[in-house]
Amino acid sequence: MTLIRAGTVVVGGEVCRPGWVDIDGPSIRDCGAGTPPAEADVDLPDSVVVPGFVDMHVHGGGGASFSDAPVAAARFHRRRGSTTTLASLVTAAPAELLSAVELLADATRQGTVAGTHLEGPWLSAARCGAHDPTQLRPPEPAEIDGLLAAADGTIRMVTLAPELPGSDDAIRRFVDANVVVAVGHTDATYEQIQHALALGATVGTHLFNAMPPMDHREPGPVLALLRHPGVTVELIADGVHVRPEMVDAVLGWAGPDRVAVITDATAAAGCGDGEYRLGAVPVVVAGGVATVRGTSTIAGSLATMDQLFRAVASSAGLTAAVQVTATTPARTLGLDRVGAIRAGKDADLVVLQKDLQVSAVMVGGAWLDPR
């Protein structure tokens, strides 16, 4: 057992100064504000302790992609506070996609990742972004059923464009399989998004990016997603994909309980300028921005969740930052053991310095080796 006392602990959405967390094995036994019930084993008077970050949309990092090296990619992000990651796959040929789903099914069973997110191949050609346009296709029952069977319950979320033929049936199939359905990389109208939400879609994939801009006569996906009280909207709050002022506006409109900040990071995260790949697509990183080679199309991000946590905390405060980087994504994905510091939850913690830089990470009650 480990009793931690810290200058600041965000306990169940409340900022406690000081606060404490009592760890018993892999779980949180108790937590609270003020003086701990016994002498602390670990005293962190100048630190901030928050729940481990939950990144529900991430492709890789540290030179590794979740599609072929999930252990290395997960390790890179865990050291930066992402104790829970949903491994995202980009558009690929059927056999390649199936192979990646099988690999991630094993990684999920081993606890490396929390499941798989299929971002494609059922996306709009007009809004495909950095996805391989030659492999885009409408959803077909046979492919969906094959992927679900191969995953054996490990696909947690799928992003699709609801205007594609066959998408209504696809949404129903995924909802029936307890898969979260997100709409994104879409050229859909306001009404088409409303229809998808009525069928059971509950997430907007990286709001504003890879979808039509909001217009006063054609409000499109953005307004449809923001107006629906049951929808969680993803935001890539890296200052490249979405301006900070827009992040603040969405937080003010939808509220932190409906916003999940994501990295959408690729293998290039943490690696500096150079040439990389996102699936089959060549990517160039220059000046802190990743683009499809020879174009201005943004190709994922180079962000980590600790960076995004600091960005949100600086404008909206600690409580909101915890909500959008941990609590909301965990709830959206149905991950009831993570996302908050509460009794009975997994002991996944991030220790931050006063400037909110990561100083230590705990996963399942064990401190990570900082190397």
Give CA–CA dist 174/200, Å, rounded.
Answer: 9
Q: 42 and 151: one domain?
A: no
Q: Would you say residue 100 lies in a domain?
A: yes
Is 80 annotated as contributing to ligand binding? no
Q: 354 and 251: one domain?
A: no
Q: 187 and 106: one domain?
A: yes
Catalytic entry in 22, 238, 264, 306: 264
Query: Which phi-psi region, left, alpha or beta, contains residue 195 (left: φ > 0; alpha: ψ -120 to 50)?
Result: alpha
pTM reported for the whole predicted model: 0.97
Q: 66 and 37: one domain?
A: no
Is 206 annotated as contributing to ligand binding? yes
pLDDT at 369: 82
Domain of residue 354 covers 2-50+342-367
Question: SS3 breakdown of the chain: % helix, strand, coil, rounded to 5?
Answer: 30, 30, 40
Q: Would you say residue 111 lies in a domain?
A: yes
Q: Would you say residue 292 lies in a domain?
A: no
Reply yes or no on whether the pLDDT at 138 is more than 80: yes
Q: For residue range 64-87, what is the model confidence (pLDDT) as tens digits? A: 999 999 999 999 999 999 999 999
Q: Would you say residue 287 lies in a domain?
A: no
Reply yes or no on whether the pLDDT at 142 is more than 90: yes
- Grouping H, G, I as helix, E, B as strand and the rest as coil, residue 121 is coil
pLDDT at 353: 97
Contact between 218 and 225 under an 8 Å Cβ cutoff? The reply is no
- Torsion angle defined by CA atoms of residues 39, 42, 45 and 49, in that order, rounded to the nearest 10 degrees: -120
Q: Would you say residue 281 lies in a domain?
A: no
Q: 103: Cβ–Cβ under 8 A, 6 or more apart, which residues?
A: 67, 68, 70
Give CA–CA dist 278/132, Å, rounded.
Answer: 9
Q: 138 and 171: one domain?
A: yes
Q: 105 and 229: one domain?
A: yes
Q: 180 and 255: one domain?
A: yes
Q: Which two tokens stand for residue 304?
A: 């980590």
What is the maximum alpha-carbon separation in the chain? Answer: 63
Contact between 104 and 87 under an 8 Å Cβ cutoff? The reply is yes
Q: Would you say residue 77 lies in a domain?
A: yes
Which is nearest to 205 in space by CA: 186, 188, 230?
Answer: 186
Distances (CA, A) of 98 to 40, 150, 280: 49, 7, 15
Give CA–CA dist 223/241, Å, rounded.
Answer: 18
**Across the chain, what does the average pLDDT equal?**
97
Q: 149 and 175: one domain?
A: yes
- Grouping H, G, I as helix, E, B as strand and the rest as coil, residue 319 is helix
Give CA–CA dist 212/112, Å, rounded.
Answer: 35
Q: 351 and 329: one domain?
A: no
Is 81 annotated as contributing to ligand binding? no
Q: 37 and 73: one domain?
A: no
Q: 84 and 219: one domain?
A: yes
Pairing of strands 349-352, 42-51: antiparallel
Is 156 annotated as contributing to ligand binding? no
Q: Would you say residue 278 lies in a domain?
A: no
What CATH number did the domain enclosing 353 receive?
2.30.40.10
Is 130 annotated as contributing to ligand binding? yes
Give CA–CA dist 226/238, Å, rounded.
Answer: 20
Q: Would you say residue 167 lies in a domain?
A: yes
Q: Looking at residues 195-216, what average pLDDT do you find?
A: 97
User: For the chain, how many structural domains are there in total?
Assistant: 2
What CATH number did the domain enclosing 198 receive?
3.20.20.140
Helix axes 141-151, 167-176, angle to 10 degrees: 20
Q: For residue range 77-127, what is the model confidence (pLDDT) as tens digits? A: 999 999 999 999 999 999 999 999 999 999 999 999 999 999 999 999 999
Give CA–CA dist 299/285, Å, rounded.
Answer: 9
The verdict on whether 264 is a catalytic residue reads yes
**Given pLDDT bands bounded at 50, 70 and 90, which one contains residue 371?**
low
The residue to which tokens 């009592």 are assigned: 22
Q: 208 and 224: one domain?
A: yes
Q: Which two tokens stand for residue 269?
A: 């995260």
